[in-house]
Structure formats: C-alpha cells, structure tokens
Copies of this chain bind each other. A is one copy, B any other.
Amino acid sequence: RIVRLKCRCMKISPCINPKTVKEIQIIPQTAMCHRTEIVIIRNNKEAVCLDPNTQCTKRIIQTYTKE
C-alpha cells in the first residue's frame, strides 16, 4: 500500500553548516500540506528538512540572498 504523504518533511533536522548546502528548496504550504517546508539538498546528496522559523534556517537562506 503506497502512503501518499501530504507533506515532504517527516522529521526536522537541527541546524546544519551552510557550506554543506547544494540546494535549498522552499515549498509554500498547500491544500495538501498546511505548513511551509524547507528541504536542504546537501553536497553529499542527502536531503534534510529544516524549520522555516528558526534563526539557523534564516541565516542559511540569507547567506545566499544578501548583496
């Protein structure tokens, strides 16, 4: 039986080192998943989820969107 997950993130990881980030995916909430999700693809191809509201996540995102 294939369980169709509503949200992608089942587990939230603690803070990670921004230097290990290969890609950041921000997925706004939808009818299927009622929360914004942040998926980080790391250089080792591992995918981890972060809490959108923590300073750590904001710092990582700001690392790549400042002047």
Name A residues whose Cβ lies closer than 8 Å to a Cβ of B. Answer: 21-28, 36, 38, 52-53, 57-58, 61, 63-67
Contact = CB atoms under 8 A, between A and B. Distances in A.
Contact of A64 (B21, B52, B65): B52
Contacts of A21: 28
Nearest to A36: B64
A59 to B, nearest CB: 11
A58 B64 CA distance: 10
A39 to B, nearest CB: 9
28 contacts: A21-B28, A22-B27, A22-B28, A23-B25, A23-B26, A23-B27, A23-B28, A24-B24, A24-B25, A24-B27, A24-B28, A25-B25, A25-B26, A26-B26, A26-B64, A26-B65, A28-B63, A28-B64, A36-B64, A36-B65, A38-B65, A52-B64, A52-B65, A53-B66, A53-B67, A58-B65, A61-B61, A61-B65
